[in-house]
Structure 1
């Protein structure tokens, strides 16, 4: 399938994605508990600014303001019938921002989790999840998104439902999961499990990887876990800017621009192709990341020790992929570099 992102992947050694959506919108005045997606119609100028800040800081790809834009999430705000509309508008604004640039910029239609527990443990059936994701996908497609971008997923069943929905929409896609529980997703999936899962999908993602989680160090360990499986599929690394701290009534992330620059280079050297930030990542972080990726030479794949020396300690002793009875993570056991 030929599309803007696959073309860029073929031509580039790395692609810089964007940073935080929520953190930036809160700084613009979004209140806790409000639906960010409503700003697509209430404050389109601020959403345009959100996108432009990322691109001006050097991002080659940015996500639309549609993370919670599915019917299940919007139902909490009485806006479930507006899922397709709000997603379409988020992509339309993004398309305008991207098309004004004199370089290729990818508009990635953000699709977050439904917020429901998948059957059989919960009430969200596969069929309903596919329907919900398909509706949002069609809206993003209508708005001009180049690619769909599934993110912060915990359950493999939800990831598979989204893949099926994106096939129905006839759209290319990327998909990341959040490994925030001792190297596993909240529903127990490891990086090794995910690497195997994506290759079994009927409609495979252009790239897969991890976003959010605990911090940059943990996310890097997860990236090494993907690489250890010998995957040839492009890997996405989109880590938080440090660890959140509650200061004076607000959430702040302690990751400095310099730390995120180090993280970006480590992610590239570890084997990631699409590199960005998640929570707490501001334009100043992205600018430093861009500069580092452009100016620092490619190095050897980093070790776990090099990662913790640069980015701080891991939040847990294990990464979820260790052998039974062995508490030492082994994601660097292969040293074969994935083709760029």
Structure 2
């Protein structure tokens, strides 16, 4: 990709991203509770196939399978010393699969820890963790840093600061909201948009959460507060156990496509999928985006 994702956005394009990785791997046999990042080394061909399927469905960027490559989560999994190897492998698989047909975004998730005074983790510790990740991701060849599924604005802000300070890459950040437009930590979408822009984020938005309606609520609150490009990355609704104990989701590709049209009306310029989505969802949203461009 010769242009950066920011150049494409600033020229007025609507960008289509990929969909779920973790829930897709669970269907392929990933043992629940096992870090999906292990598959970057153990089953790279499966990770690459998922990436390629999303590109074939219309994704203009794919996201590395590196969401949880932070110290606390890797330590808990007994993989602390392997975290950067898993991270680099995730980038390598994505970079190869992209083959200059798509941008590669680096997924950086939450540590799952509470910052002081509510928890034991200090700001210095979390900044050091994020710095280590973003520097390794840039060195491995990603096109932008993608903080996602965050709940705590202080943690998310620390990540954005480190990425802006220690890399030259575009940085985006999305948090997960409920139907009221708040995260589990009580962060309001409007406040998040303002704070993240102040920290230097290039793109802000919402991902995962309580389905398309929650994404809509967050975008509606964010749009008046920022002039940054907005990203809408909905999951496939709320999961439930179906027949035979199989996890099912309550939003179909056609339904998310209808919601995606609403996201665009609210100012979103990036459409992608989160938990429970697959290439069919991306194809449906890409179709909506192409028709929206022509209107």
Identify the TM-score tier after normalising by the shorter chain. over 0.9
CA separation of 1:12 and 1:89: change in aligned 2, threshold 3 A: farther
Q: Distance in 2 between matches of 1:224 and 1:298?
A: 24
Question: Which residue pairs with 2:91 in the alignment?
Answer: 91
Q: Distance in 1 between matches of 2:88 and 2:247?
A: 30
Q: Distance in 1 between matches of 2:214 and 2:161?
A: 29
Which residue, out of 260, 264, 268, partners 2:256? 260
Q: Distance in 2 between matches of 1:3 and 1:199?
A: 23
- How well do the aligned residues superpose, as a CA RMSD in angstroms? 1.7
Q: Does 1:150 align with 2:147?
A: yes
Q: Can you give the 5+ residue segments of structure 2 that lack an aligned partner in the other structure?
A: none
TM-score of the pair, normalised by structure 2: 0.94
Q: Does 1:288 align with 2:289?
A: no
Q: Does 1:210 align with 2:182?
A: no
Question: Which residue pairs with 1:134 in the alignment?
Answer: 131
Q: Does 1:182 align with 2:195?
A: no
Question: Which residue pairs with 2:106 in the alignment?
Answer: 109
Q: Distance in 1 between matches of 2:62 and 2:127?
A: 24
1:296 Cα deviation after fit? 4.2
CA contact (8 A) 1:110 1:149 kept: yes
CA deviation profile, 1:81-121 (whole Å, cap 9, x unmatched): 222221111111111111253xxx11000000001111111
More helix by share: 2
Question: Which residue pairs with 1:166 in the alignment?
Answer: 163
Of the two, which has the highest radius of gyration? 1
Question: Which residue pairs with 1:200 in the alignment?
Answer: 198
1:10 Cα deviation after fit? 2.0
Corresponding residue SS for 2:268: coil
Which residue, out of 205, 229, 233, partners 2:228? 233
Question: Which residue pairs with 2:76 in the alignment?
Answer: 76
CA contact (8 A) 1:84 1:138 kept: no
1:3 Cα deviation after fit? 6.7
CA separation of 1:228 and 1:298: change in aligned 2, threshold 3 A: farther
Corresponding residue SS for 1:66: coil
Corresponding residue SS for 1:31: coil
CA separation of 1:69 and 1:181: change in aligned 2, threshold 3 A: farther
Corresponding residue SS for 1:273: strand
Corresponding residue SS for 1:265: helix
Question: Which residue pairs with 1:245 in the alignment?
Answer: 240
CA deviation profile, 1:242-298 (whole Å, cap 9, x unmatched): 221111323211211111111221111110011111111111111111112112467
1:181 Cα deviation after fit? 6.7
1:164 Cα deviation after fit? 2.3
Q: Distance in 2 between matches of 1:184 and 1:298?
A: 34
Q: Can you give the 5+ residue segments of structure 1 that lack an aligned partner in the other structure?
A: 300-340
Question: Which residue pairs with 1:52 in the alignment?
Answer: 52
1:180 Cα deviation after fit? 2.7
Q: Distance in 2 between matches of 1:252 and 1:26?
A: 12
CA contact (8 A) 2:17 2:60 kept: yes
Question: Which residue pairs with 2:26 in the alignment?
Answer: 26
CA contact (8 A) 1:261 1:288 kept: yes
Aligned length: 292
CA deviation profile, 1:155-192 (whole Å, cap 9, x unmatched): 11101211222134313211001113732111111111
Question: Deviating runs (4+, > 3 A) in structure 1?
Answer: 296-299
Q: Distance in 1 between matches of 2:204 and 2:136?
A: 22
